[in-house]
Structures are given as C-alpha cells and as structure tokens.
Amino acid sequence: MQQSLNPWITRPAPADGADTAAPEAHTPPAAVISEPLRGMVEPDAADRLARRTVTGSAALWVTGTHGGSGESRTADLLNGARVTGHCWPVLQDGSKPRVLLVCRADMRGLTAAQSALTQWASGAAPAVDLLGLAILADAPGKTPKALRDFAAIVGGGAPRFWTLPWVEAWRHGDSTTPPPPAREYQRFINDLAALATTTSPGTTH
C-alpha cells in the first residue's frame, strides 16, 4: 500500500487563526478517507464490532466502539440519531446507514476505536456511510499528551474526527444542561446535522 493511503497518518494541524470563522460560515471538515481501502488487513475476530439488524429509520446511527463510550449521550445531542448498541447497523431494506463511531479518550477507548476503524477500512464491516469518529473526554481536566497524540493518530483513520471535552453535568445525570464549552459541541452538532442531510450516502463536503 502506498504511504499516502495509510489511514493512521495524522492530518496537519490547522494554522493559527483557522478557527475564527463565524459559526454560520463553518462547514464540516473534508473527508480524508471516505471508503474502505484496498490492502488493509482486517483485525482479529475478537477485536471486531458485531453487526446487528436494526429496525426503523434514523438520520444517523451512533455506534459506540466499547462499553461506556458515550453512545447514548452523543445520540441525545443529535436530532434524529439512534444508538446501535455497540454494533454496526444493518438496515432491513439493504440501504447503507449513516454511522458515527464514538469512543472515550482513554487508552481502552482509543484502542477499541482503532480496531473498529481498521475493521471498516479493511472492508470487514458491513456497508455503511461512515461520517467519522467522536472522541469524548474520559475525565475532567487536560488529556495527557500521550493520549492526545494517540487520539490524533486514531482519528486520522476516520473520514473525520472530533475531540469533545468533559461535561461535568453529565456525571451527575443532568441531561438538561447544555454541554459546555458550547463552541466544541455546537460545532460538532452543526457538522453532523449538515453531513446527515446530504442527498446521498457517501457524499462529502
């Protein structure tokens, strides 16, 4: 495989001042990897997410890559989103579901997300329109540098990725408080709303 197709190569950091655009002018980040890659080796069976046939419809299916990933909490933030119970969704009508992977920013969560992305990139997952990976903070305070670096590597294997900060209110079961700080979550919500309403699966901005 050519080096340029390696999904674990990180994307360059945005230049200083790149985050100053007005919210209404923001568009979702462009997909770097939008479909499985030829030559990727699938993970061991024990490291793969299962697949599950889901009923009904959703604008977006949220798939946690491990227990405690924040799958339900993330789905609650997004209009029309439903959870898959830590499984790849398979639709009864055979159409391709739009999927967001979710993990926590600890080593266990990031490793699980990397395995799920490897499964998708190798073609071992069912056919889905993978929009990206959301990495949720696993604890208050600043994430250690080693984990931040690993998160960037893992996220580089997804079409897009978002890193989202800790929300203290959620620890106490408060689902009514808007998640602070607003900027990171509002941008994430706006990105997913835009991506989930594209006219055809696989379309990128």
Domains of the chain: 42-196 (3.40.50)
Instruction: Convert the pLDDT of each residue in 80-106 to its tens digit.
Output: 999 999 999 999 998 999 999 999 999
Contacts of 143 (CB under 8 A, 6+ apart): 105, 137, 151
Q: Which ranges constitute the DSSP H helices of the chain? A: 71-77, 107-121, 145-155, 168-171, 182-196
* Percentage of the chain exceeding pLDDT 70: 74
Whole-angstrom distance, CA of residue 90 vs CA of residue 113: 19
Is the omega angle on the peptide bond into residue 144 within 30 degrees of 0, that is, cis? no
**What pLDDT does residue 5 have?**
42
Q: pTM (2 decimals)?
A: 0.79
The tens digit of pLDDT for each residue in 99-117 reads 999 999 999 999 999 999 9
Q: What pLDDT, on the 0 to 100 scale, is given for residue 3?
A: 36
**What tokens does 7 get?**
């999904």
* Cross-strand partners of 164: 136
Q: Which residues pair with 184 in a beta bridge?
A: none
